[in-house]
A and B are shown apart, each in its own frame.
Chain A
């Protein structure tokens, strides 16, 4: 066939074209493996760890919310798992962009590690630190405590109200002060029985202390600011057919026949807000200390249950609450 050389040339040209295009296309195909870098938050939980019905669970819930809504990721360490707080913080610093510590228990360890990593941002909840790379989140617990104090003052029949503190520390003193001033504001005759358990993780001790208060001091309402220790107290109140006020979260479900309300310290809301601030400021905190109060919705009061709370009660409550919110009532801290 006479055109054979022509068709061979055509085929050759065609093959070259295909080859060139394949190589060009191949060059372009390996690009675009960009991994969207999520902000990684590490949290060192309290000594009790996850399931403490307190700080740890609240911080966990706040971070889950931030994870699901703000697009961060987080990891947590428990003391049981790492042995020491130092070890936990050290591990978290390696994997994270920001590390959160919960409570005064971890303060020393956190500061030790923060000194080792002076450019690494740390956050400590419910404590303050002098270190420049440690931002503190604190709450106006006295405001919430004042409000539940109002309720306790209105609902006590024996005019004897108990306060169970976890550890005898300045933070818990704020609870006590707020509660006491609220109680006295609405019910000047009421008497406050105060006792500190010395631990946040002993529910049985809490129950024992609460039981003693009910039996010996004629207390009919007890306010627990004692973490897991307080849970025992709440359950003891139910057993004794007394009333109780929970703390940190709505603890109605712990003892549904006893918990009138709870002083809500929404650590989850605060942590979520802090993470948001961190994100919007490109991995920095504009303030050294962030204080959360009623206004920020980080402090509040759970719905009133178990006991009737009539319009009269409500009216008196609102009267004092408005004054507090308006700033005309100032709580004196120790």
Chain B
């Protein structure tokens, strides 16, 4: 069984296609459920955000599973399958795991370091759990991915500084004015960036919004959208006196406010600090206004300078984040390898033990004359021989579990001892192998999906109880 991911993202598909595939979280999970019911895959998680729609599958035949996922996705969205196939990428094995970790670390995002993806991934995983689409491997994999996301954010500065003009403006306002609660925001001229900035300010608790515009109708429109109040241009001076934050973006060819006018306003304010962002081109505020005491004036270049610096700073963190992803990929592979080893050792042990019991059974006649105490001694002797023989291979296999080519040894053991053909990893619906290893492995259950899991699952699963030999136990 292997991991495969297929889907589209902002890197491979245009917006028109992405919007059609953008499913709500619960619908995406139901889509995953239907995929599992269709057969080729054992576990499925469907992640949809505005920038990506991707299906993670755990399947024997990754190609077929991926192909089916794309076809179903196309059918669901009413898109031509050929068109979707052209835009879709498909990765399997290590590449798929690395991809998931990079997504979780927001290295694959449109804006590197953006914070939402971890929550979106968590939602997708939760929804898949709710539909019973995850089991041992995906429970481990997705929790691990969320941990990777957290680790990258806490160990690198990738998501620390804002990279949009409006959020830089908010940060700057807070740097000057402290908390923004009950701060009065004055919007001069009605532009898109102004509106965005107002929304950001409001999200940080800013109070009343006043919109001033040459045409009152436009001001009223924006005011209605921002729950503010529109005022006509004549009142500008009074509003400048009252405001704490001014966002200016008029289409005026000349300065709307010059130094002399604003000096008078500052006097009337008793030099109470005011934060002004002038995002208009050409500018609305005479630059000299910024030299007045208590007035902090920034134009679009100042803000974009910060944005550019912050973007650079994020880019510099990418290499470190990639290192974390590589490290975590190695850890995940260790776990997957140990998963392969565990059932094989269990089968080996039960096969050998089977031989021991069969031989004892065969000698039942001659042994029948023994007293119960002697009989017990024979049992003990034979068991001990089996344990001694199996001890070294068991230890070695566990050591090898960390190596990349462990499957060679697993395969050799299977052939040499003619172990039954059993899937190395328990499948979702719990076949025989799942029974063998199941004692120690988390099974699909809603309780299993409980997030977060501090340190749980951190170590590879312990071997099931039956083959802990006395020698190992000591």
A is bound by B: no
Interface set of B (CB-CB < 8 Å, partner A)? none
